[in-house]
Amino acid sequence: MRNDHFRPGNASRPAPFIRRPKRPENMIYGLRPVLEAIRNGKEFEKIIIQKGLQGEIYRELDARLRANGLHAQYVPQQRLNFLCNGNHQGVVAYLSLIEYNRIEDLLPCIFEEGKTPLLLIFDRVTDVRNFGAMVRTAECAGVDAVILPEQNSAPINEDAVKTSAGALLSVPVCREENLKSTIHLLKASGVKVYAASEKASLEYTEADFTTPTAFILGSEENGVSPEYLKLCDEQLRIPLMGSIDSLNVSVANGIFLYEAIRQRKKAL
């Protein structure tokens, strides 16, 4: 007797296997755990909230976020389900692996120690491996601080720390809400801000890095934002002899930093 149930054409297809990302150790989830972390002054790398979330506890969470100046990303529930297979209650957060600084607090301390500040500003550097490698070079070059925007920056996660060879745990990192205001602050404090740009007329070896210096480097795709280019004291380029029109941002980062070291050692 024929049994059509077992015919190949009628066989039900298995549901596709979806590999969930490994849950990081710094992930917490659930309304109350995240709310409690905020109350205890924890620093966050990222907070993700389900769109349209309602309820008394959520309203308290929202109020705490606003009061503490914390930003959240709002996503569909499916995104949270993918990130976390626990009872996330519409909220997933990642605690920061490092302690952030504010440049307005850190810069006076650098001057008071008798140092000539050497700073890095990353504009939209979102690739974790590039980011980690750049901070590793910064540590080797004795950079006093790395400055990041709160938005559009690579996450400081386990991969970033590993790629930096642990440098992220020792180099002061400043996360600033407004890079434009930060650039104004640096310039008002006597720090010259130089932007890396392949369109600049001045080569990097023609600038003076023996004075307080900050380099701003942008993403490989878009470079430094036009609004920041206008604010910088000078735009600098690295000469390219081949057919490719740009360097990897991590390589450019190293070239600028070690030119600064060369000039400062020569000036001693």
Give the CATH class of 27-95: alpha beta
**Sequence spans of domains, the chain:** 27-95, 103-267
Is the domain spanning 103-267 CATH 3.40.50.300? The answer is no
Mean pLDDT in residue range 34-52: 91
**Whole-number Å distance between alpha carbons of 106 and 29:** 32
For 163-212, the pLDDT digits (tens) are: 999 999 999 999 998 999 999 999 999 999 999 998 899 999 999 999 99
CB count within 10 Å of CB 41 equals: 7
For 8-31, the pLDDT digits (tens) are: 444 455 545 445 556 677 899 999
For 125, counting Cβ atoms within 10 Å of its Cβ (0-12 exposed, 13-18 middle, 19+ buried), the class is: buried
pLDDT for 6: 43
Q: How confident is the model at residue 1 (pLDDT cuts 50, 70, 90)?
A: very low
CA 210 from chain centre, in angstroms, equals 27
pLDDT for 135: 97
Most confident listed range (36-45, 210-219, 236-245): 210-219
User: What are the φ/ψ torsions at residue 102 (nearest 5 degrees)?
Assistant: -115, 130
